[in-house]
Structure 1
Amino acid sequence: MFEKIDYWISAASYSDRNGTWLIEAALIHPNIGETHEYGEEWTREEIIEKCDVFVFCLITKDEKGNWKRGDQVRKIETDKGTFIRVDGLKMTGDYLGDIPFFEGAR
């Protein structure tokens, strides 16, 4: 599908930590084959750690149920900490666009 992408993120759960919205966990899919049904829950810390080595992009289903590639996920360093964002803005808080919310198991 997209050779340079290592992992897809299809859903995330957030929480408010002292007035800052941070990802609690996200549903991660390895970029293998054409199916993205297999997903694994990763914590925010696991994603941040792996952002230095692997490329992550968002993926969502369109109205016909087909997978659609989204924006690339980036680790952003600010004076307030490290955040995971798709917009590249050096702002406080994590932001993964309009992917679905899910209740993580962790």
Structure 2
Amino acid sequence: MFDHRDDIPVLIQAMDAVVLTTECETFGLIMIEAMMAEVVAIGSNSGGVPEIIEHLEDGLLFNAFDAQDLAKQVELIDFSSELKNKLATKGRKKALKQFEKTQQFLLFQEKLLNLMN
């Protein structure tokens, strides 16, 4: 068991991929954290994860409870560093555009200002 750590982003950057294997994750913050760190995010194709990851575009999805499908997705990036780099780069761009806190604050502020007008 590990105690609280403040260096999770550094640890994530040391990985080739981050895999979220839950059956039905409502949001999957770890997927966004992986994408922000420019690491391939692999998540189950259920819950809120498919709203974060577009399969083969900015991450990988697998069928929940299907170990063979998960292994297939991992093999894709294991056998192709080009695909791994593409997914990591596009994942980071998407995470910065859609989920970065400053960007989200500005969008929220814009919506509030529109409501006031």
Q: Do Structure 1 and Structure 2 share a fold, with TM-score over 0.5? A: no
Q: Which has the higher contact order (CA 8 A, sep 6+)?
A: 1
Query: Could you say which structure has the higher strand fraction?
Result: 1
Query: Could you say which structure has the higher helix fraction?
Result: 2
Under a length normalisation based on structure 2, what TM-score does the superposition of the two structures give? Answer: 0.24
